[in-house]
Amino acid sequence: MDYAPLVNAIQEGDQETANRLISDATPILIRMLKVRMNASHEDAEDAVQMMFLYVVRAIREGRIDNPSGLLSYMVMTCRHSYLKKLEGFQPELLDEEIKEPVEEATQLNRLLDEEKEQIYAECIESLRDDYREFYSYWIRHSDSSAKEIADHFGISVNNAWTRKHRIVKTLQKCVDSKF
């Protein structure tokens, strides 16, 4: 998602648009901190709130020169805000400094894609062994017909379709429970 409009909304005093964009970004950034930094929900909320206070002030003061890189800046600032909350925080341990955004706003999409892949992999691992084997074969031979899959596993075509449906339903339930 492109957050360059947030810079424009804040600079132009469009509070409604700014609030909507901030509301849209908040749960995504909280989830990122929870997954990437193992933050508690409360700490993640606090860090995101502190980040927005800092970012809004920086925008109002004209310190954001690259609106297309705002997302990268927000992610980095969230991490920094969270680390500042931790006991024994030492700034020199940070692997990145908070600085002017330099990346396009694709970083959050990459983070979310990685998070989804991780969750999906965990859900696949949680399948029963026979379901995981069936799913793995089905994915590796995605161009196979239901009959070919049924023949491989020594089951009926109806059973192959039923098993596929159950696996998809189980995976969907698992993925939904993690979001």
pLDDT in 10s for each residue of the chain, 179 residues: 677 788 888 888 888 988 888 888 889 898 888 888 888 888 889 889 988 888 888 888 888 767 777 877 888 888 888 887 776 555 554 444 444 444 455 666 666 677 788 888 888 899 999 999 998 888 888 888 889 999 999 999 999 999 989 998 998 898 888 76
**Residue ending a domain, choose from 49, 76, 109:** 109
Alpha helices in 37-178 (DSSP H): 41-60, 70-85, 107-125, 129-140, 146-153, 157-178
Do the Cβ atoms of 108 and 28 come closer than 8 Å? yes
Closest CA to 69 of 48, 39, 99: 99
Closest CA to 31 of 39, 23, 22: 39
Domain count, the chain: 2
133 and 75, same domain (yes or no)? no
Residue 85 lies in a domain: yes
CB atoms within 10 A of CB 114: 13
Residue 120 lies in a domain: no
140 and 71, same domain (yes or no)? no
Do the Cβ atoms of 99 and 65 come closer than 8 Å? no
pTM over 0.75: no
**What CATH number has the domain bearing residue 151?**
1.10.10
138 and 102, same domain (yes or no)? no
Note down the domain range covering 66: 4-109
